Amino acid sequence: MTTYDKMRIILSLTEATDFNQADIKIESVGNQSIKIIHPCGCYFVQHIYAGKIIARENIDQAALNKINIDRLFFAELCKQHKDIAISQQEEQQ
């Protein structure tokens, strides 16, 4: 599972009807990254100063987005959401 897939799932948690921003924990990791932790255990680390690769015309934008997401984020899913993600991937195959 790619960072892109994990981030898509983690960000979708904020769309839940019972989502409450106050339940989110934010920790600093070193002095250039922050860790955002959901109550279920899913979390991501955002590298604030990672910067972005800017596109040249002939580069596939979707591929470039995935590269930038890999540079900016580290993500881990909790057991519950990992199981959901794996079963969704199996359905798509």
Instruction: State the residues that interact with Zn ion by CB under 5 A.
Output: 40, 42, 78, 81
Asked whether 3 and 42 are in contact (CB, 8 A), the reply is no
Query: Closest separation between CB of residue 23 and Zn ion, Å?
Result: 12
Nearer to Zn ion, 69 or 78 (CB): 78
The strand order across the sheet containing 33-37 reads 25-29, 33-37, 43-47, 73-76
**Which residues lie closer than 8 Å to 36 by C-beta, 6 or more apart?**
24, 25, 26, 43, 44, 45, 46
Give the amino acid at 40.
C
Query: Closest separation between CB of residue 46 and Zn ion, Å?
Result: 17
Nearer to Zn ion, 9 or 34 (CB): 9
Query: Closest separation between CB of residue 50 and Zn ion, Å?
Result: 24
Nearer to Zn ion, 36 or 40 (CB): 40
Nearer to Zn ion, 47 or 82 (CB): 82
Asked whether 33 and 39 are in contact (CB, 8 A), the reply is no
Query: Closest separation between CB of residue 87 and Zn ion, Å?
Result: 14
